[in-house]
Chain A
Amino acid sequence: GENVEQHPSTLSVQEGDSAVIKCTYSDSASNYFPWYKQELGKGPQLIIDIRSNVGEKKDQRIAVTLNKTAKHFSLHITETQPEDSAVYFCAASRGGSGDKLTFGTGTRLAVRP
């Protein structure tokens, strides 16, 4: 089955700096890669996703890159703000009906004011 590894487990950055979280996956057939943000006391919220037919996707200060050859994908947050502090999860799946998401173990991001 699929295995997703996520690094780092904790990340602290100064407000305004960039943050990068990286994930690797094992199943070469995976083609759907969502990222979730989980704030304290809340459930995970989808913030961006990417499919294997593109190498990069951007939404304002958030971007995700995908390298299918190396089987890794990354989340980039630019101009970080205190409200970006949360736990971020990556996930991977084959993306078809009936398939399931395999999640990473999460990255706790702290943005220092």
Chain B
Amino acid sequence: ETGVTQTPRHLVMGMTNKKSLKCEQHLGHNAMYWYKQSAKKPLELMFVYSLEERVENNSVPSRFSPECPNSSHLFLHLHTLQPEDSALYLCASSQSQGTNQPQHFGDGTRLSIL
């Protein structure tokens, strides 16, 4: 039990589909993050939320739309994705925003775009 749960674990979708990734943390943290992990590349930070407010958007295309309804839940809404968006999407949380607190990761959603 990592304390950060992501669903679904695997997702296959066509380029015209709309789907959502879900993340839930049971650690009482106030900050949540979305990362993209592609083969042979460093983890890429996509979005940061602190106390349900988006504080960073790392030049991510608008086909990715995050939502944070409360401090325990984070969503990533997907629409009209491209094949290069196939990757492992990781959610993380920390006690507060920034890196003076350790980040705890979920096990990710493996996304494949047909």
Contacts and interface: CB of A to CB of B under 8 A. Distances in A.
Interface of A: 4, 32, 34, 36, 41-46, 49, 89, 93-106
B4 interface: yes
By DSSP majority rule, is chain B's interface helix, strand, loop, or mixed? loop
A32 B99 contact: yes
Contacts of B97: 97-98
B43 A103 contact: yes
Given A46-B104, A96-B99, 7 more contacts: A93-B99, A96-B100, A97-B96, A98-B55, A99-B99, A103-B43, A104-B42
Interface of B: 2, 4, 6, 40-43, 45, 48, 55-56, 90, 92, 96-100, 102-108
B105 A100 contact: no
Contacts of B106: 43
Contacts, number: 63
B42 A43 contact: no
B102 A96 contact: no
Please give me the 10 A-B residue pairs with the lowest Cβ-Cβ distance, nearest first. Answer: A43-B105, A97-B98, A93-B99, A103-B42, A103-B43, A43-B107, A44-B105, A46-B102, A95-B100, A43-B106
Contact of B43 (A49, A89, A93, A98): A89
A101 B107 contact: no
Contacts of A94: 99
In the complex, which of the residues A4, A32, A93, A98 has the most CB atoms of chain B within 10 Å of its own CB atom? A98
Contacts of A103: 42-43
Nearest to A93: B99
Contacts of B92: 43
Contacts of A34: 99, 102-103
Contacts of A4: 42
Contact of B90 (A32, A43, A97): A43
In the complex, which of the residues B2, B42, B97, B107 has the most CB atoms of chain A within 10 Å of its own CB atom? B42
B108 A43 contact: yes
